[in-house]
Copies of this chain bind each other. A is one copy, B any other.
């Protein structure tokens, strides 16, 4: 008898019939004698509908209200699933974020979970109930509804698994595991049986949409065994696990890409100490994640500084940077939304050199210009013109021998 957390994404609960199907899957695990907590996303299309309404109402919706609005999508799914289970004779109870005290900070639209009240859930588990939980949402200390950002339901699932010391956390989704790259771009992409937390983190942070990055961080931190499986196809999916459990480490495990960033360049910045702080502090205060940063060599006391931000924060970031530019007397601000980041990821890189050089070579042979570069121990990323994304991904996937 184990305690298992299931998480079902939007496409897995996209209709009444699909929710009934999830109820049957949960019932089966129940019959095998296990306790189950089911975290659900909004029905596919529902969140987009709510976001659309918010933006019809205001160009920049108040963020507190925005969160309270879009959190209703998950509430609908968690209660419908509990209705389905109860009607099958399986006692079930739904919980919203505030009811099980999923306490977050107050960074609306991208809040972070700080703690969860395990006791309330354990009480229901001990009473023999299945628990359904609205993913993606929490409350801050003041009782305001917060959301965790797109894909936040994965984080809810892993955080609950960690808080309740669950035996496994299974993320059910519309794909049957983690692939070497996006199969829509490379038809010969291969499903991985295992991947390390670290690799998954790099893949997730680069827009491989299978798992949300913070859920993997949580899983790594609390060592939660995490499995990505298909709701619709029966197979073992991909296990996300610690490095030592992996038998052999290939040079490169996967190729990822991300079209969700935009590039901002400050031109003619006076090259004085403290300038970077002046530029990035206001962005941090506005809760905007700056990803890659490149600074040109200084010429005549001035330099250019380029960085990327999420597209969703692009307008807000640009406004802030334009204000900063006046303060620090930078010459100009230019911006580009048509960029993409392509990356190769693999723990095997640690013991092999030459991955970056090979990557640059593969891209240059196709005439793809590299605008920015960043590297980590297990990853090399290049920012390119977004129109070359698919070409770049295929070239790298084949070039590093990842195909079937």
Contacts and interface: CB of A to CB of B under 8 A. Distances in A.
Interface string A27-65: 000000000000000000000001001101111111011
Contacts of A59: 87
A83 B99 contact: no
Interface string A62-81: 10111011001001101110
Contacts of A68: 75, 78-79, 94, 96
A79 to B, nearest CB: 4
Given A72-B72, A96-B68, A20 B57 contact: yes
A260 interface: no
A98 B94 CA distance: 16
A93 interface: yes
Interface in A1-49: 16, 19-20
A103 interface: no
A183 interface: no
Contact of A57 (B75, B87, B96, B98): B87
B72 A75 contact: yes
Please classify the interface of chain A as helix (H, G, I), strand (E, B), loop, or mixed, using the class held by over half of its residues. helix
B61 A87 contact: yes
Nearest to A100: B143
Given A65-B94, A143-B99, A57 B76 contact: no
Interface of A: 16, 19-20, 50, 53-54, 56-62, 64-66, 68-69, 72, 75-76, 78-80, 82-84, 86-87, 92-94, 96, 98-99, 143-145
11 contacts: A16-B57, A20-B57, A50-B76, A57-B84, A57-B87, A58-B87, A59-B87, A60-B87, A65-B93, A68-B78, A96-B145
